[in-house]
Amino acid sequence: MTIELVLFRLTVAAALGLIIGYEREVRGRPAGLRTNIVVTLSSCLLMILSLELASLFDNFDQESIIRADPGRIASYAVAGIGFLGAGAIIKGQGAVRGLTTAASLWASNAVGLAVGAGFILPAVLTAGLILLTLLPMRWVTRYVPKGLDIRIVLDFNSCADKMPEIRTLFSNFKIEIEDFDFDCRYSHQSSSYEVRIHLKYSQSWAEVLTALRQLEGLTRIRWNEGYLA
């Protein structure tokens, strides 16, 4: 492979990484332009290296014990990008963020490998489709019904068992409790209930919150919420 061809492929890979990383950069995500460009460039170089190493063993005959697999380095590049993607995912209380960023990094890796292997047109089309997916789909997903995952902490001024009352309240709204934790502080005669529920898009969180405020002995309500894909 000539140096001109190598430079051309690396340049195309960097340009496509810029295209994919543009939307992430605009939205202020950690993995933006620079990260995606580095991913596509490194993936492209690994693919070129893999092809070049395989070409070094073309002169060996079929009976040789030396075997060259041009896809081996590429397969490790795909596996390795998973660690970078995992680092972009943040799981908080009630929400998971960074999945799209992790997916864009994985896509950048695939685009870089395709460019390195010489599949320029499929790589360009893929990068364009990814950008079209990331940008316009933001407005489309706003109108897609989503469930709401809510973690609620209820503080009471006594250690009386409020669990049946809380279960009945959610049951009246036809809401299933996914997780339930109880903590009683006898020295202060106070207790806390941590409840995790999944609210369907047709159910009103405001109505549930109003009903929770009517619980006897309730001193404070805290909650974290997040939309689940």
Domain annotation for the chain: domains and CATH numbers: 3-141 (no CATH), 147-228 (3.30.70.260)
Mean pLDDT of the chain: 80
Specify the pLDDT at position 229. 33
3-state secondary structure (DSSP) of residue 225: strand
Model confidence pLDDT, tens digit, residues 59-73: 665 666 666 666 777
Output the CA angle 76-81-87, nearest 5 degrees.
Answer: 145
Supply the pLDDT for residue 227. Answer: 45
Q: At 111, phi and psi to the nearest 5?
A: -65, -45
* pLDDT value of residue 42: 87
Residue-level pLDDT at 53: 74
Q: Integer distance in angstroms from the first to the last C-alpha of the chain?
A: 45
Across the strands, what pairs with 155?
A: 192, 220
Three-class DSSP category at 37: helix
Q: Please report, in tens digits, the pLDDT of each residue of the chain (229 residues total).
A: 788 888 898 999 888 888 888 877 777 776 777 888 888 888 888 888 888 877 766 666 566 666 666 677 777 777 777 777 777 676 555 556 677 778 888 888 889 888 988 888 988 998 888 888 877 776 776 666 666 778 888 999 888 888 889 888 988 888 888 888 888 888 788 889 998 888 777 677 788 888 888 888 889 988 876 544 3
Q: What is the pTM of this model?
A: 0.60
Residue 106's pLDDT is what?
85
Q: Which residues contact 94 (CB under 8 A, 6 or more apart)?
A: 149, 150, 151, 223, 224, 225, 226
